[in-house]
Amino acid sequence: MNDLISLTKDLCQIPSGIVADGNERLFKRISDEIDLEIFRYPSGSEHNGWVIPHKWTVETATIHRDSELIYDGTINALGVAHYSRSFKGRLSLEELKPHLYSIPSLPEAHVFHCTWLYRPWVEDWGLCPPYNLVRTLSPGAYDVEIKTRFEPGDMLVGHHHKQGRSDKTFVFQSNTCHPYMANDGFAGTAVMIRLFQWLREKDTHYSYRLLLGPEHQGTVFYLRDHTRAEIDRYVGGVFGEMMGTDGDFVVASSFHGNNVIDRAFRHVVSKNTRRCRFVGFRESVGNDETVWEAPGVEVPFVQVNRFQSHSVPFPEYHTNFDNADLMDPEQLDEFLGVFQKVILLLENNITIKRRFDGLIALSNPKFDIYKERFDPSKSSSSERVHGAAWGGLQDSIPRYFDGRWSILDIAEKHDIDFFEVQEYVKQFVGKKLVDTELQELTRPYVPCFEELDYET
């Protein structure tokens, strides 16, 4: 169940992309783990200026000098700038270098140049040799030959839906468009697959959806075909990636930053991770949260990852060195645990309404739900004594039983773990002192463009 590295390796071996032959194999492999419904979008389709690129194949990609082969871009899947056009010609070194993409910090790496995947109208070409080769090139004439082929194909997006008692749906999302890459892609996919296998047997109030597809284009076209009623069922979501290397657990908030899903992630992460950071909307390395938060959709979406900086999220970012060997199983397990606890929090965030007036003697044997606090006149170091935070909660908790405060509200106010507060409230339920009701996730109604009333 928790063999995340093995599953990550399997997914990383498949040559995937926005439109690629390997996508069929990729989704078949994922379907071996969980059921998927597949959606197909023809290349060349356009929506809001986003264009699905055609399938791209590299046939030849060489640099020669004086008839000697200097570089063959076909030796690595990232050896040619993705969606490079064909080119043939003799260039000086000064003319050649603007078309070579490498990074000095990883001198043996091939860079994943992906800009043109999102701008298929660009007519340009490029190669991605290691920096150690680029820095040895001396002035002279270089013969470049690149032959690439563009053909119609389909972009694939898959989703797995876990139906709950309510149609209100929470989305977990990962990308499938970074070929062979683990941390910036498939480790996150593996974590979410394992999450939904765990979720499969759970009786849940909410429905949960796993969405897998190319970044941005996948979600843009997936939501394009949603009805207003379908969009209105979404109450929130999270995009997760870059989970397996060292670094803080980073939570980037939704656009407004004060939704229950923001609070749920901040609370769980602060209580259950070794190191964490909380930043604003798009202050992390952003992804499809912008699509979900776009006007007329406006589904609250957070983003989680580990990253060092925007320019270098982790040292091997967007290179062929981003592979499964980099992954730390404990780091991945930490993400899986956070996702599980967020779901459990959302499923159990109840409000509480009292069935009594006045002060209850919680220490009375017929209730027996008083938590001892330190008393210097009688407490010893061997006694189990609760601290000041619990003392403050215990003094105040009857006032929270008015049907408006949720467990998350109480846990945040007293800085106590949600699940500890939940267990304490269960004792009041067991003594028939309170009734409870789930505080359902909601979001404001969002009008579509046709419904807006503009003054002329």
Mapped to the 3 state alphabet, what secondary structure does 235-275 carry? EEEEEECCCCCCCCEEEECCCCCCCHHHHHHHHHHHHHCCC
Residue 372 pLDDT > 90: no
Residue 7 confidence class, pLDDT cut points 50, 70, 90 = very high
* Burial group, residue 377, by CB count within 10 angstroms (0-12, 13-18, 19+): exposed
Least confident of 203-217, 329-343, 348-362, 378-392: 378-392
Residue 345 confidence class, pLDDT cut points 50, 70, 90 = very high
How many C-alpha atoms does 193 have within 13 Å on its Cβ side? Answer: 29
Average pLDDT, the chain: 93
Residue 222 pLDDT > 60: yes
- The predicted structure's pLDDT at residue 1: 45
Give dist(CA 49, CA 327) in Å, integer.
36
Residue 456 confidence class, pLDDT cut points 50, 70, 90 = very low
Give dist(CA 136, CA 164) in Å, integer.
60
Q: Which helix (H) or strand (E) holds 141?
A: strand 141-151
- The predicted structure's pLDDT at residue 286: 83
pLDDT digits (tens, 9 = 90+) for 235-272: 999 999 999 999 999 999 999 999 999 999 999 999 99
- The predicted structure's pLDDT at residue 374: 64
Sheet containing 402-406: give its strands across. Answer: 402-406, 350-354, 434-438
Residue 87 confidence class, pLDDT cut points 50, 70, 90 = very high
Residue 455 confidence class, pLDDT cut points 50, 70, 90 = low
3-class secondary structure, 328 = coil
Helices (H) then strands (E): counts for the chain: 13, 17
Least confident of 2-6, 158-162, 316-320, 396-400: 2-6
Residue 175 pLDDT > 60: yes
Q: What is the mean pLDDT of residues 309-323?
A: 90
- The predicted structure's pLDDT at residue 382: 45
Distances (CA, A) of 122 to 25, 53, 82, 116: 29, 11, 12, 7
Distances (CA, A) of 205 to 265, 267, 355, 372: 19, 21, 25, 35
Residue 98 corresponds to which tokens in the numbers above? 């603007």
Mapped to the 3 state alphabet, what secondary structure does 145-179 carry? EEEEEEECCEEEEEEEEECCCCCCEEEEEEECCCC
Nearest-5° angle of CA 95, CA 97, CA 102?
165
Q: Look-up: residue for tokens 């939904």?
A: 196
pLDDT digits (tens, 9 = 90+) for 377-425: 665 554 455 678 888 999 999 999 999 999 999 999 999 999 999 999 9
- The predicted structure's pLDDT at residue 180: 94
202: DSSP letter:
-
Q: What is the mean pLDDT of residues 87-105?
A: 97
Residue 2 confidence class, pLDDT cut points 50, 70, 90 = low
Residue 50 confidence class, pLDDT cut points 50, 70, 90 = very high
Q: What is the mean pLDDT of residues 354-366?
A: 94
- The predicted structure's pLDDT at residue 451: 65
Q: What is the mean pLDDT of residues 293-309?
A: 94
How many percent of the chain have pLDDT more than 70? 95
